[in-house]
Amino acid sequence: MKMENPGNLILVIFGASGDLTSRKLIPALFSLKTQKLLPEKYAVIGIGRSQSSDEEFRKKMKESIISFSEDKNPDVGQIENFTGSLSYLSMDELSAESYEKLKSILAETDIIYGTDANYIFYMATPPSMYESISLNLAKAGLAEESSGFRRFIIEKPFGYDLESGRKLNRNLHELIAEDQIYRIDHYLGKETVQNLLVMRFANGIFEPLWNRNYIHRVEITSAESIGVEERGGYYESSGALRDMVQNHLLQMAGLTAMEPPSSMESNAIRNEVLKVFQSLQPIREADVPKQVIRGQYTGSTIRGECISGYRYEKGVAPDSRTETFVAIKFFINNWRWGGVPFYIRTGKRMPTRVTEIVIHFKRTPHHLFQRENGLLTSNQMIIRIQPDEGILLKFDMKEPGSGFNVKNVSMDFHYKDLADVRVPSAYERLLYDVMLADSTLFSRDDEIETAWKFIEPIQKAWEKNHEIKIYGYPAGTWGPANSNDLIEGCGLTWRYPCRNLTDDGLYCEL
Ligand code: BG6
């Protein structure tokens, strides 16, 4: 991370009694504190509806740091010192009157801490509250940047579809400028996602190969082993397409496919990602069944443990048609990628938690060597986003001995082998960047809308055409088997980093 101290500020967290605050935001802030990356003078005000005193809030946040901090033995003195700067305000975020009180508390806190009237507002609330909170802040005069800066952080989902995404942007723009808005896509905060830029644009060896002449196909998988857990209610109205594809997966595709930016300036990078989104070949509604496979996990037994199907999860309708798995084949219509299929898939209750980008290179034009099992392989570069972050290159070598037996081998780089380098958490990086006003790793309004535009025909086809199947897949497997039908080419399948859990146990190739 950059090692400069941001300017003094107050961070206001709406939704402070929620999970995001205790599991991610506060531990990330504490980690920045231990690295001396917080401003010299700062304060954090948590806002929620539930009643709590400052002391109770501090105690709860101390416990969160102990439970969720990446440092397994956080220093108690440092925790005390950090939580001393936290306070709590119980208020109804939807009532305009409460904001006068917030305004006076901010002014008082500013005097006590000397924070130069700089405020960051973090909306860790349900998305339906973003507009009202912003409006109330604006009405109270808290959005104007006359005395200090005002930054607004909002969490995905940014809308529900193209129309609501546009409306949210429009309404926010009536109150605040685009450069005051930081839309969090926490995948962009992941170190290995950012490393895509360095890997592609700091190394001369990849660029000549990174195009339709040498790449056969690109595969992006983001699999989770957990189900929807306590989030059934939210997930029912979201599904994998909105929850993961419209944002995280398309952003990863954007960084994989983009042209070199003219500089590392935030808009230079975001312009290139936007161009990729604008070049996505629209999927016609009629082609959705051919290019998109959706699935929903069903109950299964994994090593003797009964796992419930999605329809039995809390908050989920017993006849739900919400997808917990989606796989899409699409093309990027530009000079670099014309004709190269991109495959993306994501799912819950899969055999393991893994996010990876697989670049499948074309085979040699003439096959001189026969492999023992008769199968021809091609070179693959596997960019492992998580876990065990790193890069794996697979290629063929001669097996020692007589003849020319060919064996597929791997060259493997693990981020953890970089001695003494601690990989910062996504939220740590993103919070720090907002404090420094660096918006490179945040989604811009036009990116969001263009991504929704690509997703829209899929949403419409599913809404209108109930004939389009949703396939069940047993929890602990790689999704509906026919997701392999998407992959063009005889005998080709998705890469499976490990076997189905419902088979004979787990083994990983990673
Ligand atoms: C969130 C989704 O954005 O990303 C969740 O809402 C998902 O459903 C999560 O579990 C995955 O994030 P990560 O960092 O664990 O891969």
Whole-number pLDDT of residue 1: 59
> CB-based contacts of 504: which residues, under 8 Å, 6+ apart?
none
Rounded to an integer, the average pLDDT of 187-200 is 91
313 CA to centre of ligand 1 in angstroms? 18
The torsion region of residue 117 among left (phi > 0), alpha (psi -120 to 50) and beta comes to: left
Whole-number pLDDT of residue 146: 83
Rounded to an integer, the average pLDDT of 80-93 is 94
Atom of ligand 1 nearest to the CA of 247: 3
CB 327 within 8 A of CB 479: yes
Residue 252 pLDDT class (50, 70, 90 cuts): very high
Residue 509 pLDDT class (50, 70, 90 cuts): very low
| Structure token pair of residue 209 | 């190969």
The torsion region of residue 505 among left (phi > 0), alpha (psi -120 to 50) and beta comes to: left
The torsion region of residue 361 among left (phi > 0), alpha (psi -120 to 50) and beta comes to: beta
pTM over 0.85: yes
Whole-number pLDDT of residue 305: 87
Condensed to tens digits (0 to 9), the pLDDT of residues 300-348 reads 988 888 999 999 999 999 999 999 999 999 999 999 999 999 999 999 9
Condensed to tens digits (0 to 9), the pLDDT of residues 123-179 reads 999 888 999 999 999 999 999 998 899 999 999 989 999 999 999 999 999 999 999
- The residue contributing the CA closest to ligand 1 atom 14 is 187
Condensed to tens digits (0 to 9), the pLDDT of residues 456-502 reads 999 999 999 999 999 999 999 999 989 999 998 878 889 988 877 76
Given a cut of 50, whether residue 365 has pLDDT beyond it is yes
Atom of ligand 1 nearest to the CA of 226: 10
Rounded to an integer, the average pLDDT of 269-285 is 97
Question: CA-to-CA distance for 137 and 353, rounded, in angstroms?
Answer: 39
251 CA to centre of ligand 1 in angstroms? 14
Given a cut of 60, whether residue 504 has pLDDT beyond it is no
Condensed to tens digits (0 to 9), the pLDDT of residues 104-124 reads 999 999 999 999 999 999 999
Q: Of 429, 453, 430, 449, whose CA–CA distance to 158 is shortest?
A: 449
Does residue 401 or residue 259 have the better pLDDT?
259
Write down the catalytic residue from 173, 248, 360, 367: 248
Of the candidate ranges 130-134, 276-280, 385-389, the one whose mean pLDDT is the lowest: 385-389
Whole-number pLDDT of residue 388: 84
CA distances to 161, 240, 449, 450, 461 from 464, rounded to whole Å, are: 15, 18, 22, 22, 5
Beta bridge pairs of residue 208: none
Given a cut of 70, whether residue 363 has pLDDT beyond it is yes
Question: CA-to-CA distance for 16 and 8, rounded, in angstroms?
Answer: 21
Q: Report helix, strand or coil for 277.
A: helix
Whole-number pLDDT of residue 374: 64
Residue 248 is among the residues annotated as catalytic for this protein:
yes
507 CA to centre of ligand 1 in angstroms? 24
Residue 508 pLDDT class (50, 70, 90 cuts): very low
Pocket test for ligand 1, best of 187, 297, 345, 356 (most atoms within 8 A of CB): 187
Q: Report helix, strand or coil for 112.
A: helix
Domains identified in the chain and CATH numbers: 9-155 (3.40.50.720), 188-244+280-424+467-486 (3.30.360.10)
Whole-number pLDDT of residue 2: 62
Mean pLDDT of the chain: 92
Pocket test for ligand 1, best of 184, 185, 243, 326 (most atoms within 8 A of CB): 243
Atom of ligand 1 nearest to the CA of 222: 16
Rounded to an integer, the average pLDDT of 386-414 is 89
CA distances to 255, 270, 282, 491 from 261, rounded to whole Å, are: 11, 9, 24, 37
